Chains A and B, each alone.
Chain A
């Protein structure tokens, strides 16, 4: 969409797991790109493939997984890259933030020592230089009184501060891309608000690109420029955040937005629901749209032909990608 080459370009990415009960196709041809300094929210329910997409990009796959397609970071192919090369890229060019801040940090090292270790290991930074940069990044993620916190152990920090330290460890080598997998799911709403502000500030001030994985549409509304909604291993809709929320095009996106009670809406007696369950990803896939069995608008074609993810232009000139046979669901 912009002229500059994207930081991350994913083309037809697939992930298949070989299990004792046959193969599971967790990701089924996912394509997107993220430009420099932009943020993309990957949204979906459990089993939609959002996390596996990220782990495939990072090269963090178990032995029984087969990754297909392409994922390029600053032009460099990550799918099939050697382990040594991925080790060098992780941390340096792409940082990762996990859900649970307690397990992402080493309990017996001060947070300062952990940040300095990363700098010493990857860049051979001397201790004075490492300390200076560690304090700098702590300030960047809005840690107040960084000099004092530098000497603290993870257990001495609150949950929100811990997660901001994890963000700092992911950012300290100035990566081009930050991937965050449900980074606020384990946190209280009040703490979540603060961590989301941190992400926004980081993307704004450092120019790092962000891929944020979450099940919560409310989280991406404020934190991301663009949103991709995943269902059963595929992207079903990708659009600028404002467009997606104000005029969701895919029936699944609409249903997902409608079935959550909202504090800013008048109370409703009954919630809209999406009946049934997401499909199993095991075995051979049906020919039709994966959402068709749960879709209120499904027609004959939806059950026999899989809709491709195609670009649509709206009357107001905005574009988005939608995988649905219906031009405009009623």
Chain B
């Protein structure tokens, strides 16, 4: 097994909030989540809104404080280091957001936007060389230097997302976090961007952490998968194994809820969608947090939080897992 690039152990992010009646309370947005990403690998993170996907991404970039746990990049724990020590990491880990127009400075030309990470991390390099690198990166993402002088408002959503990707890649990071990076794009443009990410990963060996609510897209891109619910890990491991044979009932419900472009399958859909609503994250259910919506829940689920267990392929946190496939 190769050394992991990113190694996250028991990571928790807590937000102090006001609960009922204004009493101080703690929102456990991410609770004891652990995973690893190897160089060149893609980890997909899925779950409903409010499951902690985006908070997790922000914690990995140290944009929100870490309550407990460790995050190691290349073996070094940076979960509590000061901002100065984070500087090299800010270069090695970049992020691509959902809305490219909102994440690009409207007053920057495309070239300026793509060049900016180099301006910050390599100020001694001559400007012309930085420009050249930025233009080369624009070529790489399929835009070409013809777009270099344009502004974001002159570009389409897909083109702006290419600019964001170029900007993320220009300083040669080793991990790129994509938070719903293709969700705002039209279907035909989504495919272009997904292929681009796959090509870049093949050529450069960067690792991807790909957050999305769209399971079909995550399955397409990811080698490994993390399923979150109310900030907790439900299932984690090899993506193909989990998609083919989810052991956690929550993973099963998520997969079953995805509409399939086939009327025969859709009309015959018998599995009822997940009942009930996401519980308040301020007052998560005791024991297993998923039990209030789980078709398999029993009395033990209300008492003991299920530990992560399972085989070499994938781990799941459930007292009553779905059957293993018969070999």
**A binding-site residues for B, Cβ under 8 Å:** 45-46, 158-161, 188-194, 196-197, 215-219, 221-223, 241-242, 245, 255-257, 259-264, 267-275, 277-278
Contact = CB atoms under 8 A, between A and B. Distances in A.
Interface in B158-199: 158-159, 186-192, 194-195, 198
Nearest to B159: A277
A267 B220 contact: yes
Interface string B215-256: 111011000000000000000000010010000000001111
B198 to A, nearest CB: 7
B187 to A, nearest CB: 6
Contacts, number: 127
B156 A264 contact: no
Contacts of B255: 263
B313 interface: no
A240 B90 CA distance: 52
A245 B253 contact: no
B49 interface: yes
B319 interface: no
Contacts of B64: none
26 contacts: A159-B49, A161-B277, A188-B213, A191-B48, A192-B257, A193-B256, A193-B257, A221-B262, A222-B266, A242-B264, A245-B262, A256-B188, A262-B261, A263-B215, A263-B216, A263-B255, A263-B260, A264-B265, A269-B198, A270-B198, A271-B191, A271-B194, A271-B195, A272-B191, A275-B192, A277-B189
Interface stretch (B55-63, B74-82, B267-275): B267-275
Contacts of A217: 187, 261
Given A221-B261, A268-B220, A158 B278 contact: yes
A277 B186 CA distance: 10
Nearest to B214: A189
Contacts of B267: 222
**Which bucket holds chain B's interface residue count?**
35 or more
Q: How would you classify the secondary structure of chain B's contact residues: helix, strand, loop or mixed?
A: helix
B17 interface: no
B187 A256 contact: yes
Contacts of B287: none
Contact of A190 (B158, B198, B274): B274
B126 interface: no
Contacts of B274: 190, 193-194
B183 to A, nearest CB: 10
Nearest to A159: B49
Contacts of A194: 273-274
Contact of A277 (B48, B156, B216, B277): B156
B263 interface: yes
Contacts of B194: 261, 271
A261 B262 CA distance: 13
B187 A259 contact: yes
A46 B158 CA distance: 12
A158 B277 contact: yes
B40 to A, nearest CB: 16
Given A161-B277, A272-B191, A189 B220 contact: no
A245 B254 CA distance: 23
Contacts of A160: 277
Contacts of A242: 263-264
Contacts of B192: 273, 275
B259 interface: yes
B300 interface: no
Contacts of B158: 277
B322 interface: no
The 10 closest A-B pairs by CB, nearest first: A222-B266, A218-B259, A193-B273, A261-B220, A158-B277, A274-B188, A259-B191, A45-B186, A271-B191, A193-B257
